Structure 1
Amino acid sequence: MKIDSSFSFGDRLDDIAAIQAEFQARERLGFDGVVTAEIRNDPFLVVGMGAAVTQRIELRTGIAVAFARSPMTTAYTAHDLNVYSRGRFTLGLGSQIQAHITKRFGMPWHGPAQQMAEFIRALHAIWDCWYDGKPLNFRGECYRHTLMTPDFTPLNTRYGRPRVVMAAVGPLMINAAAREADGILIHTFCTPKYLEEEILPRINATLAERGRRREDFEVSFPPFVVTGRTEAEFEAAKQRVKYRIAFYGSTPAYRPVLECHGWEGLQPKLNQLSKNNGWDRMPDLISDEMLETFAVVGEPRQVAQQIKARYGHLVDRLTLESGLPEDVLSEQIRIMRG
């Protein structure tokens, strides 16, 4: 099992030295990868910063919003980062929701599963042209790419095409990931029971239908973790994770996870509070039983053992937040790999 570190740089984009030092620290600690997300900033820029000062660690987006871009612009960016990092870049894509795509990014929406599957096929058609010399003739329902001349074809292809992994929640998106991508990014709003009983069987069935091997497909998951060095830190983490569970639980798309545990009645209550600006009251509906079902809870060294016991036999990669001292993080990594 590989262990990645999430990286959020917030408003520190002008402090390049500090950002690069954090990448170097994660490599020194023994993390396998660093994952950047598209929230307030472009996730690709900081990957380039990290690539410049590291040698081993993998660099991953988790996620970049696919539909905010075209397959062609994404193909160029991913290619360049993979060359710049000497083959260490993995392109993690997600769909976002319709309102953000059409109203924030001003881009077309064709339905997430169909569009994402076609987006990834278009990427590979472009890379087939660049890396294998095949004519570019991709004609889909959402995207069309039929022109590529030598002047616009990247020259350095020694590192091959980047790996592409895809975020998925519902059955159609899970099927699309297992058909088209190199791996899947499981949403953090998930439990071991839902993962084992619902998600993994669907992945395995779709892979089998496509004649793909499970060992060639990567399952990655970022678990909720509640921990802290002091009681105050622990309580703050507990409330923060309860809020996130409540936030995701208010969304109809995540109701099946609650149904798996007999908690489907919680979703409409959370949804109603979210519509009435009751965000601060939503965490009160998350019981300690629910918290411990969704999250790994305990002292820093205990959570490493729990993470390994819960997920070591289910997933190939874990993504952890890194707010603890380096000696604690180093020991956590050692325990999870032991």
Structure 2
Amino acid sequence: MKIDSTLTKDIDVTASAAREIEQAGYDGLWVGETKHDPFLQVFQALQATENITVGTSIAIAFARTPMTTANVAYDLARHARGRFVLGLGSQVKPHIERRFSMPWSSPAARMREFVLALKAIWTAWQEESKLDFQGEFYTHTLMTPFFAPPPHPAGPPPVFVAGVNTVMTEIAGEVADGFFIHPFTTPRYLEEVTLPALRRGREKTGKTLEGFEIAGPSFVAVGRTEQELATAIAGTKAQIAFYASTPAYRAVLELHGWGELQPELTRLTKEGKWESMADLIDDEMLHTFAIVGGPDEIGPALIAKLGAVATRLTFYATYKTDPELLPELLRQVRAADQ
């Protein structure tokens, strides 16, 4: 089992934070795309570290084209010498259309084609062959020597795809090298929905889940004192509420009989009542989605939740945590995984 950490959103301390994560003994670190360009932070983290895996979790695929993504990912793979993982996600329609001003349609089918286009471009570069990818959403048929980067020993990076609903998850199993479990999930949803969909996707190419990476970020609310724990719980409830307001994730709530909560949370987002949303997340929901407790309780609970499913585990804490907790949490998870 590989244990990873999430990199800080503070771009001014990316390098130092990456060094601390590596020195603490983690196997990998992940950079999300929120306030800053994730590839810039990945580059900073790679420069500051020596052995740790560094990847995006996630970069927003539909905010880019396969060619622009292929370029930056291929260069990062060269620089990383095998330490970079390209993690992709679709985001949701309002953000793609209104924030990025990019087209949105058939997200699962588009993601499938996006990944296949990426791999076709990389093959053309790595094997110095003709580029001829023609799909419904993307067409890449022009690549002259002047614009083609030379092959490199590291080769293209592995591609992970994030998903929640069944179609996107099945697509990930078919065309990707790994899958990101969304933090907004539950053990029951994983068992009844996610794993069957991944297996169906793998079966389309005659493969099983053997050798297929599953990265499992999990909400963790941890504190060494009552005040620390209360702060962690408040931050975690707020993040659960944020994800629960997304219509695309309603299926997770419906499986547990909480489907009607989603439109109520969506209404609050439209009214700008962000601070009120966490109040709708009760303790039952908190403990269903998150692992809550002191440092010595987190390790066994995390292994129990995802140990039989994931090949990589990540603490997903959306509140400010004490950096000294990083090595402490890692020790607890390593001990529980023995």
Shorter-chain TM-score tier = over 0.9
Equivalent in the alignment of 2:59:
64
Q: TM-score, normalised by structure 1?
A: 0.93
Most deviating of 165-174 and 243-252? 243-252
Quote how far apart the aligned CAs of 1:131 are. Answer: 1.2
Kindly provide the amino acid, as one letter, of the partner of residue 199 in structure 1.
T
Q: Distance in 2 between matches of 1:92 and 1:245?
A: 22
Q: Distance in 1 between matches of 2:283 and 2:5?
A: 26
Question: Alignment partner of 1:9: what SS?
Answer: coil
1:212 aligned partner, one-letter code: K
Distance 1:308 1:210, change over 3 A: same
SS in 1 for 2:159: strand
**Offset, 1:190:** 0.3
* Pair 1:73-2:68 in alignment: yes
Equivalent residue of 2:210, what SS? helix
Q: Is 1:84 paired with 2:67?
A: no
Return 136-145 or 101-110, whichever deviates more.
Answer: 101-110
Partner residue in 1 for 2:224: 229
1:2 corresponds to which residue?
A: 2
| Contact 2:128-2:151 within 8 A present in 1 as well | no
Which shifted more, 22-31 or 59-68? 22-31
Map 1:130-169 onto structure 2 (within 5 A).
Answer: 130-169=125-164
User: 2:328 is aligned with what amino acid?
Assistant: V
Equivalent position of 2:197 in the other structure: 202
Q: How far apart are the structure 1 equivalents of 2:110 and 2:330?
A: 40
Report Cα offsets for 1:254-300 as digits up to 9, x if no partner. Answer: 22111212222322332333333333222222221111111101101
Equivalent residues of 1:301, 1:331 under 8 A apart: no
Range that drifts further, 122-131 or 44-53: 44-53
Identity %: 46
Say if 2:299 and 2:329, in contact at 8 Å, map to a contact too: no
- In the alignment, what sits opposite 1:186? 181
Query: Aligned partners of 1:321, 1:128: CA distance in 2, in Å?
Result: 34
Aligned counterpart in structure 2 of residue 317 of structure 1, from 303, 312, 315: 312
Structure 1 residue runs without a partner (length 5+): none
Alpha-carbon distance in structure 2 between the residues aligned to 1:53 and 1:290:
38
What is the distance in 1 between the residues matched to 2:229 and 2:103?
43
Superposition deviation, residue 117 in structure 1 = 0.8
Amino acid at match of 1:23: A
How many residues of Structure 1 are paired with residues of Structure 2 in the alignment?
333
Mapped to 2, the partners of 1:258 and 1:328 lie a distance apart of 32
Amino acid aligned to 2:259:
E
Other-structure match for 1:36: 31
Distance 1:209 1:111 in 2: 20
Distance across 2 between alignment mates of 1:151 and 1:172: 39
8 Å contact from structure 2 (residues 172, 201) kept in 1: no
The whole-number CA distance in structure 2 between the counterparts of 1:296 and 1:8 is: 20
Structure 2 CA distance for aligned equivalents of residues 54 and 250 of structure 1: 37
Q: Distance in 2 between matches of 1:104 and 1:223?
A: 27
TM, length-normalised to structure 2: 0.93
Stretch of structure 1 that moved more, 85-94 or 105-114: 105-114
1:276 counterpart residue number: 271
Residues 179 and 210, structure 1, Cα contact 8 Å, conserved in 2: yes
The aligned counterpart of 2:328 is 328
CA distance in 1, matches of 2:15, 2:208: 37
In 2, distance between residues paired with 1:280 and 1:21? 32
Distance 1:182 1:327, change over 3 A: closer
Tell me, in whole angstroms, the C-alpha distance in 2 between the residues paired with 1:271 and 1:88.
39
Query: 1:216 offset after TM fit, Å?
Result: 2.4
Q: Any idea what SS the aligned residue of 1:167 has? A: strand
Q: 2:126, 2:151 within 8 Å by CA — same for their partners in 1?
A: no
Deviation track 1:4-43 (CA, whole Å, cap 9, x = no partner) reads 1101232x43xxxx43222122112221111001111100
- Which one-letter code corresponds to 2:243 in the other structure? Y
Taking a change above 3 Å as real, the CA distance of residues 150 and 313 of structure 1, as seen in their structure-2 partners, is same
- Separation in 1 of the partners of 2:155 and 2:135? 24
**Letter of the 1:115 counterpart:** R
